[in-house]
């Protein structure tokens, strides 16, 4: 009897379940779009790769891919609202959000929110620190400053569970997001960060932050909803997550593969490895041989280039030497012509001097004096040539140097150290054809002054002034004066004219110049002639 009652009750229960399922099916068929097209407000925060905003401020991540697939199938209009983690929980509690993505289960949270039944992904807490900090066990957290996400499960776990269980003394600092905690760790404001295992995927190589072997509190991660009864979103999301997990080709596994970068393992066959090794060794030797061959070619090429440059340089030097020889020959030929010309001119001058001197010789005493005077004049010509050869310039002579040398020579010759010589001579240059006549003129005038101007006088105020300077660009003036006895009658002196005076007059004409002479308070002679090399 009891068995019949049990069977009767069981059949009634099954019948009622079937009726209920049928009614639900009819309602779903009659109102298929009850949730279709509705706006769903979804709270997100920065926690890659699960959920985050990319550089273009577009929502991305594992939870975003899952949420978008569900919204597409259910025809929802999803509105993502970005905020900090703790602010999202407050907005969800106030009913201003329909869903918050990426929420770990915590018993205390069930007081103000609801989780869906099917977990999205599993996670755990892990300690992250810099390369300079060594962490190997939980007790290494003692006396450390720890950064956590504000309002996160790790903040509650560290304070309420880990600290009393292991009797640890550490300080917890909460930050609104992970970038802030990373910045604090780099600035040494904290010693480490406790975050979910997915925190590792947010790091870049430049952060220099590494995961430690310390892990604890495994947990599941869900969708979170406001604390309201019979929320129609929850069963729909559970159904879609179950569907995704049961299909290896679903968005769920594609997203995990994309964001967690877990490529399929592929093992290269051993024979391919061996073949690649042989090819690599052969390529190594081939490259080495090629490099060695190129080096030898470079060395040979460099040697040939060096020899070629040496030959080119030798050829250039030979050409330069030939040009110098040709130039030297031309100069010597020109020099021979110049020497011939100068010797001829000098001999003509000497011949003319001797001829003029011979006309004025009347007795043997005058002959001796004439030969002595001619010898001095030839010496003056020799002095000009000597200055030319010693200065290295065979074309021109410095007038100042010539006057100084000639004056010193004549003072020494006539032992006239008691006579003061005042010189005011510019450093102008005369060519050889002008230097010899000018030198003879200066010699005649200076000799006459030394021999006759101070006859019978030994006063210390005896003075001869010599000046030579440019009157203008084209003319030179030579002046010689003394403070001696002078000339009583200049006109008579010009008419009678001594040999020296006639010689000076002829040499002045040879220079195409003019001469003036005065005899008051000494003799004053001024000769002006044009420069031939201006």
Helix and strand numbers (H, E) in the chain are 14, 18
Question: Over 303-336, what HEC string results?
Answer: HHHHHHHHHHHHHHHHHHHHHHHHHHHHHHHHHH
CA distance 43 to 225: 10
DSSP state of 35: S
The SS3 assignment for 392 reads: coil
pTM: 0.43
The DSSP bridge partners found for residue 226 are 113
The CA dihedral of 94, 100, 102, 107, to the nearest 10 degrees, is: 40
Q: Which of 233, 34, 198 is nearest to 116 (CA)?
A: 233
The SS3 assignment for 527 reads: strand
DSSP state of 264: P
* pLDDT string in tens for the chain (534-residue length): 444 443 444 445 545 555 645 554 454 444 444 455 689 999 999 988 999 999 999 999 999 999 999 999 999 999 999 999 889 989 999 999 999 999 988 888 888 899 999 999 888 889 999 888 888 888 899 999 999 999 888 888 888 888 999 889 999 999 988 889 999 999 999 999 999 888 877 776 667 888 888 988 888 999 999 998 889 999 999 999 999 989 888 999 999 888 886 444 455 777 788 888 899 998 988 998 899 898 889 898 888 888 888 888 888 888 898 888 888 787 677 656 655 555 556 566 666 666 665 655 666 665 666 566 666 666 666 666 666 566 556 678 888 888 888 888 888 887 788 888 899 999 888 887 888 788 888 888 888 888 887 876 666 688 899 999 999 888 999 999 988 887 776 666 666 567 677 888 888 888 899 998 887 778 899 999 998 764
In this structure, the number of other CB atoms found within 10 A of the CB of residue 350 comes to 14
CA distance 403 to 442: 8
Give backbone dihedrals phi and psi of 341, rounded to 5 degrees, phi first.
Answer: -65, -45
Q: What value does the CA radius of gyration of the chain take, rounded to a whole number of Å?
A: 62
> Is residue 13 within 8 Å of 19, Cβ to Cβ?
no
CA distance 399 to 466: 12
Q: What is the largest CA-CA distance in the chain?
A: 200
CA distances for 88 relative to 36, 221, 222, angstroms: 25, 16, 15
The SS3 assignment for 247 reads: coil
CA distance 266 to 285: 30
């Amino acid at each position: 009897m009891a068995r019949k009652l049990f069977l009767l009750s069981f059949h009634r229960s099954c019948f009622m379940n079937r009726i209920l399922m049928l009614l639900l099916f009819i309602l779903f068929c009659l109102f298929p779009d009850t949730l279709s097209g509705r706006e769903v407000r979804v709270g997100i925060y920065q926690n890659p790769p699960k959920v985050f905003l990319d550089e273009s401020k577009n929502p991305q991540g594992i939870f975003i891919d899952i949420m978008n697939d569900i919204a597409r199938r259910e025809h929802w209009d999803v509105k993502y609202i970005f905020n900090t983690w703790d602010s999202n929980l407050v907005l969800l509690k106030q009913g201003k959000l329909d869903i918050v993505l990426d929420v770990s289960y915590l018993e205390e949270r069930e007081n103000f929110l609801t989780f869906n039944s099917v977990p999205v992904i599993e996670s755990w807490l892990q300690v992250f620190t810099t390369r300079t900090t060594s962490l190997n066990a939980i007790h290494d957290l003692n006396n450390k400053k720890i950064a956590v996400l504000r309002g996160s499960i790790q903040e509650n776990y560290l304070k309420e569970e880990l600290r009393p269980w292991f009797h640890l003394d550490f300080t917890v600092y909460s930050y609104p997001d992970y970038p802030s905690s990373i910045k604090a760790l780099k600035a040494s404001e904290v010693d480490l960060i406790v975050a979910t295992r997915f925190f590792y995927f947010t790091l870049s190589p430049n952060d220099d932050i590494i995961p430690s072997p310390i892990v604890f509190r495994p947990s599941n991660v869900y969708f979170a909803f406001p604390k309201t009864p019979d929320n129609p979103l929850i069963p729909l999301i559970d159904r879609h997550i179950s569907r995704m997990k049961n299909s290896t080709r679903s968005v769920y596994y594609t997203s995990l593969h994309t964001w967690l970068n877990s490529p399929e393992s592929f093992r290269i066959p051993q024979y391919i490895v061996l073949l690649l090794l042989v090819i690599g060794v052969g390529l190594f030797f081939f490259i080495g041989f090629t490099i060695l061959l190129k080096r030898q070619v470079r060395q040979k090429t460099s040697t040939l280039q060096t020899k070629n440059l040496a030959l080119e340089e030798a050829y250039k030097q030979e050409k330069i030497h030939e040009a110098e020889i040709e130039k030297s020959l031309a100069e010597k030929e020109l020099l021979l012509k110049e020497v011939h010309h100068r010797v001829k001119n000098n001999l003509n001058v000497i011949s003319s001097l001797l001829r003029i001197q011979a006309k004025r010789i009347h007795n043997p005493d005058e002959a001796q004096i004439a030969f002595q005077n001619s010898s001095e004049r030839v010496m003056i010509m020799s002095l000009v040539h000597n200055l030319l050869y010693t200065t290295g310039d065979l074309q021109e002579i410095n007038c100042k140097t010539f006057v100084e040398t000639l004056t010193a020579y004549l003072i020494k010759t006539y032992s006239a150290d008691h006579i003061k010589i005042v010189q005011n001579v510019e450093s102008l240059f005369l060519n050889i054809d002008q230097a010899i006549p000018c030198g003879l003129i200066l010699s005649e005038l200076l000799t006459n002054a030394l021999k006759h101007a101070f006859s019978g006088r030994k006063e210390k105020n005896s003075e001869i002034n010599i000046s030579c300077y440019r009157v203008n660009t084209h003319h030179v003036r030579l002046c010689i004066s003394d403070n001696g006895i002078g000339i009583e009658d200049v006109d008579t002196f010009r008419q009678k004219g001594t040999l020296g005076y006639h010689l000076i007059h002829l040499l002045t004409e040879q220079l195409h110049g003019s001469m003036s002479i005065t005899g008051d308070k000494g003799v004053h002679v001024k000769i002006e002639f044009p420069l031939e090399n201006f």
